């Protein structure tokens, strides 16, 4: 198969011999289980990378979100305002904690929660705001913080896609009371799965650390005791730990992060330039006061052109693509009757095209050519 006919995948991790060597080192150590010494090393490094005092490695971002809500004290009957345009893990975590997600409509340019929509949804039952960094670009956190402080609410950053992003020079993850990250295979840095909960508040992370190990201190915390440590269980906990094998991979991925971001940003620049004069599509907006990590590159297809037809024809040409993400309020599980027109429109018109750190200049050029041909045919 020639390079010109080889399929171009939508997303792909960047891993290699360095990750294998790190895993081999963990194998030799004998500690493969969760929350061990390699996890602690990763937690320390990740907290530094995202500008927080503390980090807790978790099994995935969904468990990080759930743990964060639990340690923030979310109870049945509470309402949590959630940015609507997001993978349903955000809303699911609120349901799992026993509360009700109330979805806020989004900005039409960067697709994060519109502060005015958040403000309009606050009721006496509202306890907090779960603000999503859509495709990695942080939302309006100064405005979110002002709203939260005015109404006595907590602020939680869903930073699932945001490793390496910044908002007004501050790293994503440091913008709220808590933040949750994902290390799924489609994310900028990955161990296949995994997540992290970060905060400057030691009390929140300490509580989450106990909850993520069945309600007791992890075994590594009890190493070196001069007595036989027998923990007691005082509250219901869970097994939400990251294994040390995954943590070894994540340590290497942290080393790779600057280069991975550079490749993605270069690809995004080429896409911007390639689509600048193409009628029928709008390129995503990267605001000048924040750094976009380009976890995904999402085009907005003109309403008179079928997004689905564009996607199917691109796939016929070997170009990986998919819808952007979900308008949560239209998902049956939530039983919502809200009308959120901006998010609903994005859900219908967005198209994600290949974006990962293994893309070559030739592949990016082939994607631009294919999208241009298909959109022109369907216009």
Residues carrying an active site annotation: 187
H helical segments located in the chain: 17-29, 37-50, 61-71, 89-96, 115-121, 141-151, 202-211, 244-275, 307-316, 341-349, 361-378
Give ∠ CA 305-346-286 in degrees, rounded to 5: 105
Neighbouring residues of 209: CB distance < 8 A, sequence distance ≥ 6: 35, 56, 217, 218
Separation between Cα atoms, residue 332 and residue 336, nearest integer Å: 8
- Residue 143 exposure: Cα atoms within 13 Å on the Cβ side: 12
CA dihedral sign of residues 275, 276, 282, 287: positive
Contact 175, 165 (CB under 8 A): no
Q: Which residue in 46, 38, 101, 40 sits closest to 69, CA to CA?
A: 101
Q: Give whole-number Cα distances, 338 to 105, 117, 133, 327, 331, in Å.
A: 10, 12, 22, 11, 11
Separation between Cα atoms, residue 157 and residue 176, nearest integer Å: 6
Across the beta sheet with 281-282, the strand order is: 281-282, 297-301, 350-353
Spell out a b/e string for 329-365, using b for 16 or more CB atoms within 10 Å of the CB, else e.
Answer: bbeeebebebebebbbebbebbbbbbbbbebeeebbe
């Amino acid at each position: 198969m020639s390079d010109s006919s080889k399929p171009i995948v939508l997303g792909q991790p960047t891993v290699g011999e360095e990750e294998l060597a790190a895993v081999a080192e963990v194998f030799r150590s004998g500690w493969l289980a969760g929350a061990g010494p390699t996890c602690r090393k990763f937690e320390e490094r990740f907290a530094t990378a995202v500008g927080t005092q503390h980090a807790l490695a978790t099994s995935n971002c969904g468990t990080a979100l759930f743990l964060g809500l639990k340690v923030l004290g979310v109870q049945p009957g509470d309402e949590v305002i959630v940015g609507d345009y997001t993978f349903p893990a955000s809303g699911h975590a609120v349901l799992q904690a026993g509360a009700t997600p109330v979805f806020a409509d989004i900005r039409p340019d960067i697709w994060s929660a519109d502060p005015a929509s958040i403000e309009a949804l606050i009721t006496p039952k509202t306890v907090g705001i779960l603000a999503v960094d859509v495709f990695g670009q942080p939302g309006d956190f100064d405005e979110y913080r002002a709203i939260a402080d005015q109404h006595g609410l907590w602020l939680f950053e869903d930073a699932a896609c945001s490793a390496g992003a910044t908002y007004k020079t501050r790293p994503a993850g440091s913008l709220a009371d808590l933040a949750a990250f994902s290390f799924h295979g489609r994310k900028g840095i990955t161990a296949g799965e995994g997540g992290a909960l970060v905060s400057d508040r030691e009390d929140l992370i300490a509580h989450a650390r106990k909850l993520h190990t069945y309600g007791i201190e992890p075994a590594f915390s009890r190493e070196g005791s001069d007595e036989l440590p027998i923990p007691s269980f005082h509250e219901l906990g869970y097994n939400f730990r990251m294994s040390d094998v995954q943590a070894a991979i994540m340590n290497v991925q942290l080393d790779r992060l600057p280069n991975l971001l550079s490749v993605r940003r270069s690809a995004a620049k080429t896409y911007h330039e390639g689509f600048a004069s193409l009628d029928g599509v709008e390129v995503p907006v990267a605001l000048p006061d924040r750094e976009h990590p380009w976890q995904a590159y999402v085009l907005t297809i003109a309403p008179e052109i079928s997004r689905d037809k564009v996607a199917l024809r691109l796939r016929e040409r070997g170009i990986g693509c998919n819808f952007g993400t979900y308008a949560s309020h239209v998902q049956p599980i939530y039983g919502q009757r809200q009308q959120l027109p901006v998010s609903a429109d994005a859900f219908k018109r967005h198209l994600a095209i290949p974006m990962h750190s293994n893309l070559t200049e030739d592949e990016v050029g082939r994607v631009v050519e294919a999208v241009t041909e298909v959109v022109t045919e369907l216009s």
